[in-house]
Amino acid sequence: MVRRIVVAKLYGLGYEVEEAEDGQEVLEILEEGEIPDLLITDSNMPRVNGLQLVRRLRESEDAALSLLPIIMLTARQSERDIIQGLETGLDDYVIKPFSPDELAARVQTVLWRSGKRRDSE
C-alpha cells in the first residue's frame, strides 16, 4: 500500500519509478547498470534489509553507487534508529505515516543537493 502511494505521487510529479521487492532485488538491478537518480528504501525488507543495502552501496568502489542519494521511508522512529540510519549514510529519513507531499519535497531537496534536480523544477 505504501509503495503504491509513493509510486503514484512520484509518477504524478513526472518521475520515472522502478520498483523492487527487497534489497536483494535492488542490488541485482544496480548490478545490471541501471543506476537511478535516487533510491527510496524501507528498513524492514526480506533478504537484504534497508540498512544492509545502504551499507553495501556506501562501501561500493563504484562512485555512482557509493554516492547514490538514498531516502529511508520507514516506521522505525526511535532516535537510535534515525541516528543509525543517518550514520550509515542516508541522505534523509522519513517516518511512516508520512505525507506524500512532504515526501515529494524531500525527494526534490535530496535531488537538488546531489545536483540531479530536474531543470523543469
The reported pLDDT for the residue numbered 120 is 46
The reported pLDDT for the residue numbered 1 is 83
**The three grid cell numbers given for residue 4, joined into one nine-digit string:** 503504491
Report all structural domains of the chain as residue ranges with CATH numbers, in order of start. Answer: 2-111 (3.40.50.2300)
Q: What is the mean pLDDT of residues 60-79?
A: 96
Q: Which residues of 85-102 are buried (b: 16+ CB within 10 A; e: fewer)?
A: beebbbbbbbeeebeeee
Percent of the chain with pLDDT over 70: 96
Residue 112 pLDDT > 80: yes
Q: Which residues of 41-60 are buried (b: 16+ CB within 10 A; e: fewer)?
A: bbbebeebbbbbbbebbeee
Question: Percentages helix, strand, coil for the chain, rounded to the nearest 5?
Answer: 45, 10, 45
Q: Are 59 and 66 in contact (CB under 8 A)?
A: yes
